[in-house]
Structure 1
C-alpha cells in the first residue's frame, strides 16, 4: 500500500464553511499532498489558495483523518493521511479552480454544509472544527 501525507483546511468565514464539489460530484474540503519537504501548514494554505483562490489564516489545528482507495493508475491501494487546520478568511470572494476538476463550491452555513458533505468523517471534522472555532473566537473577545 502506498501511504501519502496530505494537509487541508476547514475554512470559515463567520458562520459559514467553505466546501468544494469535485469531478465525482462529491462535496469535500480543500486538501492536497505534502510535497518537496513542505510543511503541512504551508501545504494546507497553498491548497486552499490553489483550489479556491482564497487567502486563509490558520487559527488552530483541527485533527487528522485518513482514507483508503484503489488507484487505477498505480494499480495498488493508497492511504491518504490528512492533517487538518482550522482556518478563516477576511474576504469570502473565491474562484473555483475548474482546471483541477472542481465543479462547484462556496461558503455554506454549517447546517447546510453538513447536509451536502459526502463523507461522514468530513462532516464530523467540520462539526467539531466549527465548535472549536467558535470557542476560540469567544476567547478572543473576552481576552
Structure 2
C-alpha cells in the first residue's frame, strides 16, 4: 500500500463554506499531497490558492481524516492521510481551476454544503469545523 500525507482547508467566509466538484462529480474540499520539504499548513494554503484562487488565513487546525482507494495507474492501494485546517477567506472571489479537474465550486451555506458534500467524513468535518470557527470568531470579537 502507498501512504500519502496530504493537507487541505475548510474555508469559511462568514456563514458559508467553500466546496468543489471534482472530475468524478464528487463534492469535496480543497486538498493536495504534501511535497518534500513543505509543511502541512503551507500545502493547505497553496492548494486552496491553486485550486480556487482564494487568499486565506489559517484560523486553527481542524483534525485529520484518511481514506483508501485503489490506484489503477499504480496497480496498488493508496491511503491518503489528510491534515485539515480551518481557514477564513476575506472575500468570496474564486475561480474554477480546470487544470486540477475542478468542474464546479462555490461558497454555500453550511446546511446546503453538508447536503451536497459526497463523503460523510467530509460532512462531519465541515460541521465540526464550523462550530469551532464560530467559537474562535466569538473569542476574537471579545478581544477586539
Identify whether the pair has TM-score above 0.5, normalized to the shorter chain.
yes
Name 2:6's counterpart in structure 1. 6
Q: Secondary structure at the match of 2:73?
A: coil
Q: Secondary structure at the match of 1:93?
A: coil
Q: Alpha-carbon deviation of 1:36?
A: 2.1
TM-score normalised over the length of structure 2: 0.98
Query: In structure 2, how many angstroms separate the alpha carbons of the residues matched to 1:106 and 1:19?
Result: 6
| Cα deviation digits, residues 19-76 of structure 1 (max 9, x gap) | 0000000000000000021000000000000000001100000000000000000000
| Cα deviation digits, residues 1-36 of structure 1 (max 9, x gap) | 000000000000000000000000000000000002
How many residue pairs get aligned? The number is 143
Matched, 1:54 2:54: yes
Matched, 1:68 2:102: no
Name 1:123's counterpart in structure 2. 123
TM-score normalised over the length of structure 1: 0.99
Name 1:113's counterpart in structure 2. 113
Q: Alpha-carbon deviation of 1:100?
A: 1.3
Q: 1:20-59, aligned counterparts within 5 Å?
A: 20-59=20-59
Q: Alpha-carbon deviation of 1:91?
A: 1.5
Name 2:103's counterpart in structure 1. 103
RMSD: 0.5
